[in-house]
Amino acid sequence: MKKLLMTFGLVLFFVSCGGGGGPTPVSQENMVVGQANYDQNPGQYAFYWTPTEGAVDIGTSYIAKAANENGIIVGAEFNTVSGDDFSLAYWEEGTGWTNVGQVDGWRDTWAVDINENGMIVGYTSQGLIPWYYEISNPSAGFVIIPHAAGQFWSQAEGVNDYGVIVGWSGTGPYDSWYYDTAASNPTTTVIDKLPLATWAMAKDINNQGTIVGYGDGGGAFGNLTVGWYWQNATTGAVDIDFPLNGNDSRALAINDAGTIVGNSNSGTGVFGWYWDPITIGYYNLLPTLPGHEASYPFAISNNGMIVGNSDDGTEEHVFWWTAADGINSITLAGATFSEGNAAGLK
């Protein structure tokens, strides 16, 4: 579930329950997380935003990559001494940041997602080793996820509430996979690509087991990049048609209502979209902020809030969108550049 609850409303492969045990959500206000740069300070700071609090700086030298419905924010702390590596860290209301550290022997331990039970997934940027870490079981430390068969570089990209992790392996061509942490003997299971395709990169998974991602289109689409969703080994990967005049298209996240978000390159610019194969069946284009030329949605919450970046031609700025409210920018005092990575609840 990418950066909050990224789930899909179809029954797919069944998984056993797992992934730790977390607290019950006590508040239900939309939250956006990300990072920004101050005008006069080259250092990054992490932030969260809610409608009532606005943008809140939660620490210089941190980045915020994901959040869950319990208000836990996960990201990384930048090492200001060495100036060139990151450590896993997570933030909680009243506690602040907890620095977990790095995978032994590797720098740049990146978090990419967290589920409702406090299972964090990520990878090392050196060596591309995927891992998971459970807040409820810190003594277990980082648990390494095996590479897909025949591969030696991998990235974890998402995790659902059952502890099923998705990602990709390889240096090209790429294989997509899932890894069920609650299985009696977990294995890194490669999933099907589109027919005749040579590579695929999984980006997200929901609680029913639908995986979304993108790859080459194979014979049907030539060399173009195509978004897809995968339900089970029987139906395999299903392509998501290109929006309007778009060329390359990427599916990046999915929510419980079955809405997929992504972006497409039209040849004249990049635009965001959302797509629901159950009730809509076609693309809906996302607007850009006034005066901006491109939008890059990265996440969607269970209540339909889409979060991403909008490009004004010089810099990127955080936006959020709902069907009721349209597109809105998030103002970060003193910041010239900002990046929105995830939607959560606080």
Decide if pLDDT at 268 tops 80.
Answer: no
* Measured distance CA(138)–CA(140) in Å, rounded: 5
* Measured distance CA(168)–CA(172) in Å, rounded: 10
Residue 168 counted as domain residue: yes
Q: How confident is the model at residue 337 (pLDDT cuts 50, 70, 90)?
A: low
> What is the predicted pLDDT for the residue at 146?
95
Apex CA 159: angle with CA 154 and CA 164, to 5°?
90
* Measured distance CA(115)–CA(125) in Å, rounded: 21
**Mean pLDDT within 248-266:** 88
User: Where residue 309 sits, what CATH number does that domain have?
Assistant: 2.120.10.30
> What is the predicted pLDDT for the residue at 120?
98
Residue 160 counted as domain residue: yes
Residue 272's domain comprises 30-345
Structural domains in the chain (count): 1
- pLDDT of 170-210, one tens digit each? 987 899 999 999 999 999 999 999 988 999 999 999 888 99
| Helix/strand/coil for 204 | strand
Decide if pLDDT at 83 tops 60.
Answer: no
Residue 320 counted as domain residue: yes
Q: Answer for the pair 1, 34: CB distance below 8 angstroms, yes or no.
A: no
Per the structure block, which two tokens stand in for 159?
């995790």
Q: Which of 74, 54, 57 is nearest to 65 (CA)?
A: 74
* DSSP category for residue 140: G
Q: Answer for the pair 340, 30: CB distance below 8 angstroms, yes or no.
A: no
Q: Which residue's structure tokens are 């933030």? A: 91
Residue 20 counted as domain residue: no
> What is the predicted pLDDT for the residue at 105?
79
* Measured distance CA(65)–CA(343) in Å, rounded: 10
Per-residue CA distances from 69 to 30, 146, 260, 290, 336 (Å): 9, 29, 19, 30, 29
Q: Answer for the pair 120, 342: CB distance below 8 angstroms, yes or no.
A: no
Residue 84 counted as domain residue: yes
Residue 24 counted as domain residue: no
Decide if pLDDT at 163 tops 90.
Answer: yes
> What is the predicted pLDDT for the residue at 42?
54
> What is the predicted pLDDT for the residue at 220?
67
**What is the C-alpha R_g of the chain?**
19
| Helix/strand/coil for 220 | helix
Per the structure block, which two tokens stand in for 276?
């629901």
Residue 319 counted as domain residue: yes
Decide if pLDDT at 21 tops 60.
Answer: no
Q: Answer for the pair 209, 186: CB distance below 8 angstroms, yes or no.
A: no
Residue 37 counted as domain residue: yes
Which pTM value belongs to this model?
Answer: 0.88
Higher local confidence (pLDDT), 242 or 101:
101
- Looking at the chain, the number of H-run helices and the number of E-run strands are 1, 28
> What is the predicted pLDDT for the residue at 244?
56
For residue 198, how many other CB atoms are within 10 A of its CB? Answer: 13
Per the structure block, which two tokens stand in for 230?
């995968």
- pLDDT of 112-138, one tens digit each? 999 999 999 999 987 789 999 999 999
Higher local confidence (pLDDT), 197 or 12:
197
Per the structure block, which two tokens stand in for 75?
């990201």
Contacts of 169 (CB under 8 A, 6+ apart): 147, 148, 151, 152, 153, 154, 155, 175, 177, 188, 190
Decide if pLDDT at 37 tops 60.
Answer: yes
Decide if pLDDT at 216 tops 50.
Answer: yes
Q: Answer for the pair 208, 256: CB distance below 8 angstroms, yes or no.
A: no
User: Is the preceding peptide bond at 277 cis, omega within 30 degrees of 0?
Assistant: no
Q: Which residue's structure tokens are 């239900």? A: 28
